[in-house]
Chain A
Amino acid sequence: MIEHPAILIDTTLCTGCERCVAACKQVNELGHDRPWRGQQAVDSLSATRYCTILRRPGRRYVRQQCRHCLEPACVSACLVGAMQKTPEGPVIYDPHKCMGCRYCLVACPYGIPRYDWDRAVPYVRKCTLCYARLKPGEAPACVESCPEKAALFGPRDAMLAEAHRRLEAGRGKYLKHVDGEHEVGGSSVLYLSDVPLDFLAWQPNLDDRPLPQRTWASLAKVPPIIVGVAGLMTGLHWIIGRRMKAALESAAQASPSPAGNDDAPAPSPGDEEHHA
């Protein structure tokens, strides 16, 4: 199995014949479509359709599928590790671990994962880059079925090199940008196109910063917070307790009658300075 496999899709070659969709459905045994509410069209990505062809104005056809990010948001989001980035590269899903929290659906910047909403025992559904087929050395079904060679499959470095070669060779034919090279840390499904592919993500112009880094910024603070808050709280308890005791004692010395009652406000720190 090749290291870091990637798919390069040249949208200018795609004719929208949807053989990739048919092959994907067959290989993954997805059966008939079960369109669910919220679905944009019958042929949108769904629990029964891991890849689809988006039709854009001017007879442009763009295949939509899981991008197999290099630093996937869904994998970092999954609390039980059901979404996994395999050492080879594809992002796969382990239904035996999944709890069904659907945080992966929330987290994906491309809005890819789908859910079995109509099932009593539902699972997350998405492209696995045909992980099982890659092991014996085959290409993903969608790539293999493409009659126009609009999709290429190979190591990511080679695919990037080919993409840049085409950008150089077909000067002016493409937008000078390989979609997926750097976005959110880079992905394993790369696009060459002559039209902007903004519509593949939730927002145009994705940042290069991988999404997991954003949550890690807060998660990394957990150990200091545990130590800090626990120490601070214990310390405050001790200091305030000691000062209150000292204040009560000195008050008792000053006037023998019992001072204050339960409802008296705690002595302010300013007062305590004198007694301490």
Chain B
Amino acid sequence: MLDRLSLLKTILWALVGVLAAVSVVRFAFGLGAVTNLSDAAPWGLWVALDVMAGVALAAGGFVVAAAVYVFHLEQYRPFVRAAILTALLGYAAVAAGLLYDLGLPWHIWHPMIYWQHHSVLFEVALCVMFYLTVLALEFAPAVLEHPCFARPAFQTIARGLRQATLPLVVAGIVLSTLHQSSLGSLFLITPYRLHALWYSPILYVLFFVSAVALGLATLIAESLLSSFFYRHKAPLRLLSGLGLGAAVVLALYALLRLGDLAWRGQLGACFDGSWLSRMFLFEMALSTLIPMALLCVPRVRSSLAGLALCAGLIVAGMVLYRVDVCLVAFARPEGSGYFPTWMEIAVSLGLLAACVLVFLFLVERLRVYDDPHVRGAPQPSYDPATLHNLLPDELAAPRRYSLAALLGGCLAVVFLPLGAPQPVATAALPARAAAGIAENRQGEPGQTLAFAVPDRPLPADAQPASLLVIDGNRDGQMVLFNHGAHIGRMGRHESCALCHHLSLPLDRNTSCFECHRDVYGPTPLFRHESHVKALGGNAGCRQCHADDSLPKTYETSTACDQCHRLQVASAALVPAPAARWHPAPGYVDAMHGLCVNCHEKSAREAPEHYSPLLSRCDHCHDPDRAEQRQPLAPSRP
């Protein structure tokens, strides 16, 4: 029977396994292979959650350090180490998350040498870099307490670091203030993309204040979780103090946020009933109004369940605030939505899991919490009476965790797209010219071409021909296409625009299905009389209605494609060189490239037969009506 801690670790290891598998694909094939990011949504879940929310979740570190070292609120000292460790790991996760999110992660060190001080992101990068160092130095004494660093040299370092605590704490507060607010400043440059309910000239103040609230809530949540998993008593009185602090900060945040909206005259927009206005109300209620009201009630504040609920609400709500600014309220072109792939979610979860595992590893070995329960007290290794081994199998836990990670990784591999991302199939597939063998069937000018399979003896009058094979419906099925017959049937030259309707490179010309509505199924378009005539009157009935005993319906008849073998068997084809595969030309290209050029040439070679008129622009483009930009005026005589 697993205790809850082992169960947690097993799940976390499985998540890390998934992360490892996804990482391989991410770095081998690029962002496009694992994310749903696009030019319309250049920042996705990793920026919103791992960077924006991750930094804010780690704000507890500087808040508690300030409370204890600057404001001398000594009663919160027991929280300091846990808060600093959380912040350290949180920022490490941010850096790791950036490695996934950056297009060129091996350039992550560039801000150190290429300075661009007009960029908010530069400030954030430097601050995060320095703060990570400061946090590491702040936490180092806890590591150096461990027996393996007993040598005097290490102790001298630890003593030096302890003496430098105050400067480090002050530096940490300054750096946190700067970059927590700068994460908001990042969006000051997008006044036209960020919805008015979120865009504010004081975004940086809002981000800072909400980060303080979020940091306090994270501390409460973390303390409650560790007391749950390590089965020790939560310091309820201290936590309720933190809760009161969070309520005060939330009140300040609500005042600033709503006051700013009122100042900008946007309060009405909260209630305009749009989807985003409802999102705003939901976010405000979740992150601020409900937890603030609850925390003001002393009974809620001093109960475990009440604190857990409030901390959960604040964490969820403030993370949602960042997701809203980054993704939800950020304008994108119509119809190009963004929702993260399971792989993006897996990376975010996996990084979180890795952090929690490191956190657990460290709290079990170092004096992070002042609680012997957490640091597993030494147990006797054998029963002195019976000499039976009392220690559990030492390898059982590692074995279980490895298995979990391996299973997680394997499960991920099953679903991973293994291969470079393909361009999204919005492009028309190219038409393909193929060299085939033509067989002339007498009397049917519309159906003059048929394929001869190479191993079948050719009819005597068969001629090699160049055939056009197209994928008109863009469904991957190539069919033989008789261009001349189409021109003839559709009304000569006036008909070009029916298929080549606009001049777009890679134009999606009218698909076959637009006219041949019957290609995919039973159809009222089937013309029985013309088939009767073509098949020789009554003598031909049996060609379609082969079985007399069945009623003569569409379902019982020979399928269309049994006779109309338009579908090209690829074995029968010798494809033309790839250079001759191309999307069907658009209208302008078709007219200019084919008609005009050819007429020019013909008119030069045989002026007596061909008029040079068509090679003149104004033959088609009527200069008198230039202002209407008619691409094709009726031809002049």
Chain A positions near chain B (C-beta within 8 angstroms): 15-18, 21-22, 33-43, 45-47, 55, 59, 73, 75-82, 97-103, 105-107, 109, 111, 113-123, 201-203, 206-207, 211-212, 214-219, 222, 225-226, 229-230, 233-234, 236-237, 240-241, 244, 262-263, 265-266
Contact = CB atoms under 8 A, between A and B. Distances in A.
B120 A215 contact: yes
A261 to B, nearest CB: 9
A229 B174 contact: yes
Contacts of B75: 262-263, 265
B102 interface: yes
B424 interface: yes
A184 B43 CA distance: 23
Interface in B94-110: 101-105, 107-108, 110
B581 to A, nearest CB: 11
A35 B425 CA distance: 7
Contacts of B66: 233
19 contacts: A16-B588, A37-B38, A39-B424, A43-B505, A76-B119, A77-B189, A79-B122, A81-B116, A100-B105, A101-B103, A113-B39, A114-B39, A115-B42, A116-B30, A122-B104, A202-B331, A206-B192, A234-B166, A262-B75
B551 interface: no
Interface of B: 27-32, 36-43, 66, 69-75, 77, 101-105, 107-108, 110-111, 114-123, 125, 166, 169-171, 173-174, 177-178, 181-182, 185-186, 188-193, 201, 204, 237, 331-333, 335-336, 338, 420-428, 502-506, 508, 588, 628-629, 631
A21 B504 CA distance: 11
Given A99-B108, A219-B123, A244-B72, A122 B189 contact: no
B103 A218 contact: no
Contacts of A38: 38-41, 332-333, 336, 338
A24 B486 CA distance: 34
B103 A118 contact: no
Contacts of B192: 109, 201-203, 206
Given A100-B105, A106-B42, A40 B32 contact: no
A56 to B, nearest CB: 12
Contacts of B504: 18, 42-43
Nearest to A75: B118
Nearest to A34: B423
Nearest to A119: B30
A117 B174 contact: no
Contacts of B110: 80, 97, 99
A121 B30 CA distance: 7
A244 B69 CA distance: 13
Nearest to B28: A120
B98 to A, nearest CB: 8
B423 A35 contact: yes
Given A103-B121, A217-B201, A240-B70, A39 B174 contact: no
Point out which of B115, B116, B422, B503 has the most chain A C-beta atoms below 10 A from its C-beta.
B116
Contacts of B123: 219, 222
A115 B39 contact: yes
A79 B102 CA distance: 13
Contacts of A97: 107, 110, 114
A21 B588 CA distance: 14
Nearest to B169: A233
Contacts of B201: 214, 217
B334 to A, nearest CB: 8
B424 A37 contact: yes
Contacts of A18: 503-505, 588
A201 B631 CA distance: 28
Contacts of B178: 222, 225-226
Q: Which 10 A-B pairs have the closest CB atoms?
A: A100-B103, A38-B38, A38-B40, A105-B42, A79-B122, A38-B336, A117-B32, A80-B114, A202-B192, A120-B30
Given A40-B335, A230-B170, A266 B427 contact: no
B39 to A, nearest CB: 5
A40 B72 contact: no
Task: Classify the interface of chain A: helix, strand, loop or mixed.
Answer: loop
Contacts of B332: 38
Nearest to A48: B423
Contacts of B101: 101
A169 B189 CA distance: 38
Given A35-B424, A40-B333, A218 B107 contact: no
Contacts of B505: 18, 21-22, 33, 42-43
Nearest to B167: A234
Nearest to B75: A263
A118 B422 contact: yes
Contact of B119 (A46, A79, A214): A79
Given A39-B38, A202-B331, A215-B185, A117 B421 contact: yes
Given A80-B111, A229-B174, A236 B121 contact: no
A97 B69 CA distance: 41
Contact of B166 (A39, A115, A237): A237
A239 to B, nearest CB: 10
B74 A262 contact: yes
A118 B43 contact: no
B94 to A, nearest CB: 13
A216 B182 CA distance: 11
A161 B73 CA distance: 68
B260 to A, nearest CB: 14
Point out which of A33, A77, A82, A225 has the most chain B C-beta atoms below 10 A from its C-beta.
A77
Contacts of B72: 237, 240-241, 244, 266
A40 B39 CA distance: 10
A36 B39 contact: yes
B174 A118 contact: no
A97 B116 CA distance: 11
Nearest to A100: B103
A47 B423 CA distance: 11
A206 B191 CA distance: 10
B131 to A, nearest CB: 13
A203 B330 CA distance: 12
B116 A39 contact: no
Given A118-B423, A211-B189, A225-B177, A42 B104 contact: no
Given A17-B588, A35-B423, A38-B38, A233 B70 contact: yes
B360 to A, nearest CB: 28
B398 to A, nearest CB: 34
